[in-house]
Amino acid sequence: MSTEPCKYRFGIYEARPGTRELYKDGRKLKLRPQAFQVLLALAEKAGDVVTREQLRNRVWASDTFVDFEHGLNTAIKELRAALNDSAAEPRYIETLPKLGYRMVAAVEKEGAKEEKEIHEVKEVKEEEISESGRVEREARRIWWGWIAAVAAGIFALTLLGAWIQKRREATTEKAGTPRVAVLPFDNLTGDAEQEYFSDGLTEEMIVQLGRIDPQQLEVIGRASVMHYKHTQEAVGQIGRELGAQYVLEGSVRRDTERVRVNAELIRTKDQKRLWSSEYDRELSNLLELQAEIAQTATAEIARTLHTGRPVNASASAPESGEKYEAYDLYLQGLYFWNKRTVQDFEKAIHYFQAAIEKDPNYAPAYAGLADSYLLLTGYSFSPGTRYMEKARAAAKRALELEGNLPEAHTAMALVVQNYDWNWQEAEKEFRRAIELNPNYATAHHWYAEHLGFRGRFDEAFAESAKAQRLDPLSLIIGADHGVLLLYARKYAEAEEQLRKVKEMDPNFSRSGVVLEVYIAEGRYAQAENEINKWKQDGGGGVMYWTAKARLYLRTGEREQAKRALQMLKRLQNPQTTDPSVMVWGYLAAGEREEAFRWLEKAYQTHSNMMTTLKVDPALDEIRGDARFQELLRKVGLDTN
């Protein structure tokens, strides 16, 4: 008789001693041999304490030159990372200070027949074998009969499921909230420099439609629809990829005084054109024209669905005549803001300021200016004191001019969160922005980050899911969802999410956060490779050496860390560089006192680092220090 190898199951995990492998939901996880042996020792005595001495004798007895304390601590950290476990609130491994560890999850042992049972089977008498064979044949007959009945049942259920699915698809349009994608308007001017105008018109149409009651219409975000700019994909395929039942597509041509816009509404499942129209207007009436197209398209969708509900298009169109020049400059600012590089943020600021000079009462330009300063702070690795007060002034003025502007509320939320650490006020502003425009993907995106910074991960994932639904192809929303998973210590899921983003665009820098997953899981060679890619792609500056320092902090390579610290000292500029970079350099070099001195500087300059204090895994090294806990209190992150 053959024997099955033993397995230990706990929760969604399975440890296989025979192959020294750990599986999660059938997927193999990477685990070093020492960590697996510690896990096995705990699983074997689930519910009982396994002392540090017992672990030393079992796992490290033959390793004379190994630092046992460091090795055990590293193994426990690696296990908790693999199990998404927490030392503070353990679900699997509990620490008993100065004593040892205990597996607190229920463990089920499978397989491994005892030798006694095998021996007894071998000594069974001949007549018992014969009787056993008869019983076995009868059991087999009953078994196969049961299998046949189950198979028939499954077949029937499959047919029923297919019928239900077909009925569901047939009634989706009537029962669910329809979704529309505003595809990039074609620029028919023949002038590539006018791309900003057609792109801006697309974005403004998304905003106009987005302000409609979300129970009547969901609107796909800008980043996702821009994926289809200059492509020839069929409307049906686009609908399937975006989950949209309708697309609004069109073209725009303008000269010095007039604009001609063609727009048509198409149902994606059969490519039927439900409505189309051509508009020829003076440029000064463009803002009114956008509101008119949005209202007409939405009314047509409602009529098609036979909802019988009134269509609430956007608020009344803004006065347009004297605003047109400011609006045109505003569109150019949006064009560069969406490119999301330091240089393009600076260009966006130039155009938003020019728009304000043309019309000092144009609220959207102030909101765009605030957003530019906000993101420029993070993208340029600058201290908060450099741009944040400018962002505050712009957001405040936008709200004074137009109190119901969602973009202005979102900008103000980020200011009071990142600069004032006023978490309650920030949440209030995010909620107000979402109330004003439930289809505003960026508001859901940034609110998800806000909740994640506070450790409210269930709520954060729900908001992030809304942002992804509204803008499914957005690289930044997808990448920041991966960062939330990282902060929640869901490392395997974070890696998978960030890889998806990298597959969409291998050059998208934010997906490089996957190196933090590698560091947290102790996969240092992969982290090193990821960091080196930055240098190959033209990096090698502050961010490169900061990443190196974060890696050396975990690996304990002090000589390498000292080199990284020296490079950061050369590159750090007190006026333009966030002090947090020096925190990592000194921590890696083992100079904790100096690291805390720079951490205080980061606090004084309102570094973006302050927002992630509660959840960043890299800070676990100093989380137990009383000075760190005091800093958490000062920025309001000592509670939810």
Pairing mode, if any, of strands 13-16 and 21-24?
antiparallel
Structural contact between residues 105 and 46, judged by C-beta atoms closer than 8 angstroms: yes
CA 321/CA 55 separation, integer angstroms: 79
Find out if CATH 3.40.50.620 is the number for domain 7-110. Answer: no
Structural contact between residues 224 and 319, judged by C-beta atoms closer than 8 angstroms: no
Question: What does pTM read for this prediction?
Answer: 0.66
According to DSSP, residue 270 is labeled T
- Can you give the pLDDT at residue 165? 41
CATH topology of domain 179-317: Rossmann fold (3.40.50)
CA 227/CA 403 separation, integer angstroms: 32
CA 271/CA 276 separation, integer angstroms: 13
CA 28/CA 26 separation, integer angstroms: 7
Structural contact between residues 169 and 229, judged by C-beta atoms closer than 8 angstroms: no
Token code pair at residue 6: 């033993």
Q: Give the list of residues 6+ apart from residue 31 with CB closer than 8 angstroms, or none.
A: 21, 22, 39, 78, 79, 82
CA 265/CA 300 separation, integer angstroms: 8
- Can you give the pLDDT at residue 136? 54
Taking the chain (640 residues) in runs of 10, the rounded mean pLDDT of each run is 68 86 81 87 90 86 60 83 80 84 87 44 43 51 47 43 39 60 84 78 78 74 82 83 88 79 86 82 71 68 54 42 75 86 93 93 94 91 89 96 94 96 96 92 96 96 94 91 96 93 85 91 90 66 88 91 91 85 92 94 93 94 93 89
Which residues are paired to 248 by β-bridges? Answer: 182, 265
- Can you give the pLDDT at residue 305? 54
CA 292/CA 311 separation, integer angstroms: 13
- Can you give the pLDDT at residue 213? 65
Phi-psi group of 455: left, alpha or beta (phi > 0 → left; psi -120 to 50 → alpha; rest → beta)? left
- Can you give the pLDDT at residue 389? 94
Token code pair at residue 485: 């998973």
How is 10-54 classified by DSSP, letter by letter? ETTEEEETTTTEEEETTEEE---HHHHHHHHHHHHTTTSEEEHHH
Phi-psi group of 35: left, alpha or beta (phi > 0 → left; psi -120 to 50 → alpha; rest → beta)? alpha
CA 436/CA 620 separation, integer angstroms: 39
Q: Which amino acid is at 417?
A: Q
